[in-house]
Amino acid sequence: MIITMSDILNIARKIVDIFLVWFIFYYILKNIKNNVKLSLIFKGVFLVIVLKVLSDWLGFITVGYLLDYIIQWGPVALIIIFQPEIRTILEQLGRSKLLGRHKVLTVDEREHLVYEMVNAIDYLRKERIGALIVIERDISLGNYIDKAKKLYADLSSDLLIAIFYEGNPLHDGGVIIQGDRITCAGAVFPTSNSSKLNRRLGTRHRAALGLAEETDAICIVVSEETGRVSIALKGELLYNLSIDDVRMLLIDELRPKQESEYDDAEEMNEEEIYEEDR
């Protein structure tokens, strides 16, 4: 018997198909086990299926007719009734990065994010209120979020200022932003042991650099002693930035990669045209 390349591809396709089905069932059962309401949903769906099979077998026309309506409209009702639980599962799925980047912001959302961030940072530096704000990008920060105080609030400068106000019990930790929402506060990050870091810099700066060394997050620090703003990014600490520097860096770093590449190509074309004109 000769095994062709087509046979090998068919076998591989079936193995991948079985693995995906197994993974989906495993993920669903794991969440059902850890959630009481989802367990009740599963039991209710199983009961409806059993009743439908029995009604068809015993010839119960009226019961079967009612169960057909339940099966037809039941999924819609479950989505409406159990919306919070479904949202929780989707958020967990998003944090695990199975669907890629957590969220790609639109132009308006990016502008709103930068506007609120800059306003908050400007106020914090003028009042010399210490702060550590982290923006998640492609690498998940789920491990730090799980150990912090969950907020899941819309981003606003007033909320950021309130979190880092000295009387707030969460002001010592860091804030993590996912997309355009504040996910948590009071997060604790690993500190950097880099010898290049100025010894006079405090724990916030070391935590920001430590996180930037391990992830691609944007880590913004406001010094409580001097009011100076620093940003840790790609394993480096950019110290004593102006508010305009912060604004421009955020705009540039929050652009999608494709958009950044397109803008760079446009700049190169403009330079080439300028050289030709000269």
With H, G, I as helix, E, B as strand and everything else as coil, classify residue 40. helix
pLDDT average, residue stretch 149-155: 91
Cα distance between residue 2 and residue 260, in whole Å? 51
Other Cβ atoms less than 10 A from the Cβ of 208: the count is 28
Q: What pTM did the predictor assign?
A: 0.60
Q: What is the pLDDT of residue 201?
A: 81
Side-chain half-sphere CA neighbours of 213 within 13 A: 14
pLDDT average, residue stretch 126-151: 90
Model confidence pLDDT, tens digit, residues 2-15: 667 777 788 888 88
| Residue 77 in this model has a pLDDT that exceeds 70 | yes
Mean pLDDT of the chain: 80
| Residue 101 in this model has a pLDDT that exceeds 50 | no
Cα distance between residue 141 and residue 64, in whole Å? 49
Model confidence pLDDT, tens digit, residues 253-278: 988 765 544 455 454 454 554 454 44
**CB neighbour class for 77 (10 Å; exposed up to 12, middle 13-18, buried from 19):** exposed
Backbone angles phi, psi at 232, to 5 degrees: -95, 125
Q: Domains in the chain and their CATH numbers?
A: 5-95 (no CATH), 107-260 (3.40.1700.10)
Question: Where in the chain does DSSP place strands (E)?
Answer: 131-135, 149-154, 174-178, 181-187, 218-222, 229-233, 236-241
Model confidence pLDDT, tens digit, residues 45-55: 788 888 888 88
Q: What is the pLDDT of residue 219?
A: 95
Token pair of 243 as six digits? 């508010």
Strand partners, 231: 220, 238
pLDDT average, residue stretch 195-207: 82
Q: Which residue has the tokens 């099979």?
A: 53
Q: Cβ distance 207 to 174 under 8 Å?
A: yes
